[in-house]
Structure 1
Amino acid sequence: MTFPERCLVFGGSGVLMGAGLHVVALIGGPRWIEFVGAPPSVVQSASQGTWLAPAGALGIAALLTVWALYAFSGAGRIRPLPMLKTVLGGVALIFLTRGMISLPFLSRADWTSPIEIFAVAASVFVFVLGAAYAVGFWSVWRSQSPATSLPGGSC
Structure 2
Amino acid sequence: MVSQRINYLQIAGILTVLAALVHIGCIVFGGDWYRFLGAGEHMAQLAESGHPYPTIVTSVISAVLLLWASYAFSGAGLIVRLPLVRLGLILISTIFLARALGFYFIMPAFPDNSLTFWLTSSGICLILGLTYSLGLIQRWNLIGGKA
Q: Which interval holds the TM-score relative to the shorter structure?
A: 0.7 to 0.9
SS of corresponding position for 1:32: helix
User: Which residue of structure 2 aligns with residue 70 of structure 1?
Assistant: 71
Report the Cα distance in structure 2 between the residues aligned to 1:65 and 1:118, rounded to whole angstroms. 21
Residue in 2 aligned with 1:108? none
> Is 2:66 the partner of 1:88?
no
Deviation at 1:37, TM superposition (A): 3.0
Is the CA contact 1:10–1:132 (under 8 Å) kept in the aligned structure 2? Answer: yes
Deviation of 1:90 (Å): 0.7
Query: 1:31, CA displacement in angstroms?
Result: 2.5
Q: Distance in 2 between matches of 1:15 and 1:85?
A: 17
Q: Is the 8 A contact 1:88 1:136 kept in 2?
A: no
Partner deviation per Cα, 1:86-142 (whole Å, 9 max, x = no partner): 1101110111111223489xxxxxxxxxx6445423321220110111122234444
Q: What is the alpha-carbon distance in structure 2 between the residues aligned to residue 68 and residue 90 of structure 1?
A: 13
Aligned to 2:22: 21
Q: Is the 8 A contact 2:9 2:75 kept in 1?
A: yes
Residues 1-155 of structure 1 correspond to what in structure 2 (within 5 A)?
A: 1-3=4-6, 6-38=7-39, 41-102=42-103, 116-117=115-116, 119-143=118-142, 148-150=145-147
Mind listing any 5+ residue stretches in structure 1 that lack a counterpart? Answer: 105-114, 151-155
Matched to 2:123, the amino acid is V
The superposition leaves residues 1-32 of structure 1 with CA deviations (integer Å, 9 ceiling, x where unpaired) of: 544xx111111111000000001112221121
Instruction: Give the root-mean-square deviation of aligned CA atoms.
Output: 2.3
Instruction: Give TM-score, length-normalised by structure 1.
Output: 0.75
Aligned residues: 136
- Per-residue CA deviation, residues 35-67 of structure 1 (Å, 9 max, x unaligned), is 323255533421321111111111111110110
Mark the runs of 5 or more structure 2 residues left unpaired by the alignment.
106-113
Q: Return the letter of the residue paired with 2:129.
A: G
* Kept after mapping to 2: 8 A contact 1:67/1:91: yes
